[in-house]
Chain A
């Protein structure tokens, strides 16, 4: 008797499991699930905040066909693997991993789920089901460098960095080269704080840069902490990822805004239409992925005109900050006169240009 009932029970459980699987599949067929792995909190008002705006753009544009889920505060180490895997197991058909440090983890999980498509932000490793996408932040950095080179009295600029990854190296180099076009003696002091988000350390590092003579500081970390310090000291800086002028109405000269929405909507649509292919996308100002916020009234008209010219040049292809001759920190010629660095070179860059002072 007991045996029979146990067998019946097992059958029942089996049937229930099958039923729920069918139900889940039906649900999944109804709406495509798109997952996001976020680096910081969505309230960081910077990098992750901008990516979350992109996710919300999918909800707004494709809300009837697509459902989005996200995980925030995911560390860039092995702990990301089970979280990415979890999104795949939840039935996500498309997963965006929104930071450079998820590169190998994304590739690993993608090999376990060949039917799930992955999109890795700012990396360079691809597979049949892994695309990479990036934004030409360095185009924006060149605009900031142009303004900083003009606005700095000391000629010593500060750069608050996170890690020595290609995206940050490109940003530093573009900023420094653009500043030197306005002031040939301009120098950039660089501090890497080994974190994308650590407001107290960002604040202390900004203090340090100011104390060592920097009067304009740009940030490549994700909180408005640096801007608040600059505001208190009456100096200038720039927002990162989003317009941060509300945090520092006087210090905030402009910001690089990351606009991910159009790309995210397009890729989610490709999943719905089953036209998704592994690609490498690197959009910039021309495509509207990199946008410069309105200038502060502290920016004089002639400086604003210079900055506008840089923006216009990026958009029509007449301007490129990585045109030779370019020398590295030790004075070696890296890019010859008349040559321009290719996108492939830029994607793996690991050296700083002349005029950058750094420990790394």
Chain B
């Protein structure tokens, strides 16, 4: 084990972690407002194609990221209208959003198949970003730094600001929040849009950074891992960051174990690990009897004001 290999492995882990961290953070905020959006996979794909398309047309990856955020948020608004305005079932509508996002992104992407853009790489000078050691800190796409920065920002917003308090109130007790004059529906619209934008940027990490191309279904199920991650983290931002890196390390371990010739576990076991760990985490949480304190009380319930 040389230092080079450890650095290279760490960078693989960061690459695997960033998209699920972004999508997970967005979903955490959405769920904190009491809305369960299972459409993460669809929103990621919409973000991936939007970011790629904007980059193709503008040659500007920064605009591409904005486009990805917009694409993810726009598709989430469809979900928002259905569950907030028409009070449709959140689980069914979220699943529908995944199917819709997969299909629409494929349709939009038809004319982008076979095209490439330059990868959205490190903003730092090559002396740092290509340095054999310092690249472990400076060698990433701006999206990676954005993802890491968003963790304390989200925590600060949720727990230190008035707006965050209102958002949590809406998620814990929508009727009380409503009765003292807060717009439950308005807050939830904003939370869903944030979730969509973050999932969109997470998706763009695939189409603009890792493999700067468009391919149908290129997120290959990462949206579901992001959903599992939120539950695994017990709706806490700090734990979400740790959990995302834990999942990333698990995914990398699978590949390194295989490439190095170890076969002590069947590969299907590795692939199932994130979900298995989520079940374990849920079991531990409920055994400690604090689940009620963690999961937002109104999660997944439609808001039907009596007055």
Contact = CB atoms under 8 A, between A and B. Distances in A.
Contacts of A44: 215-216
Nearest to A44: B215
A8 B252 CA distance: 69
How big is chain B's contact interface, by range?
35 or more
Given A191-B258, A199-B220, A359-B263, A41 B213 contact: no
B206 A199 contact: yes
B215 A359 contact: no
B252 A200 contact: no
A201 B9 CA distance: 14
Interface in A172-217: 189-195, 197-205, 207-212
Given A198-B220, A201-B220, A203-B210, A209 B259 contact: yes
A201 B222 CA distance: 10
Nearest to A195: B220
A326 interface: no
Given A191-B255, A205-B259, A211 B215 contact: no
Given A43-B113, A43-B215, A224-B211, A212 B119 contact: no
B217 A205 contact: no
Contact of B217 (A41, A193, A225): A41
A132 B221 CA distance: 32
A43 B106 contact: yes
Contact of B211 (A199, A212, A358): A199
Interface residues of A, number: 41
Interface string A327-360: 0000000000000000000000000000001111
Contacts of B212: 228
A45 interface: yes
B211 A359 contact: no
Contacts of A197: 215, 217, 220
B249 to A, nearest CB: 12
Contacts of A360: 258, 263, 267
Contact of A228 (B113, B116, B220, B260): B116
Interface stretch (B11-19, B166-174, B179-187): B11-19
A310 interface: no
13 contacts: A43-B215, A198-B221, A201-B220, A207-B8, A208-B12, A208-B255, A223-B218, A225-B213, A228-B116, A228-B212, A246-B114, A246-B116, A359-B258
Interface of B: 5, 8-9, 11-12, 15-16, 19, 106, 109-110, 113-116, 119, 206, 210-213, 215-222, 251-252, 255-263, 267-268, 271
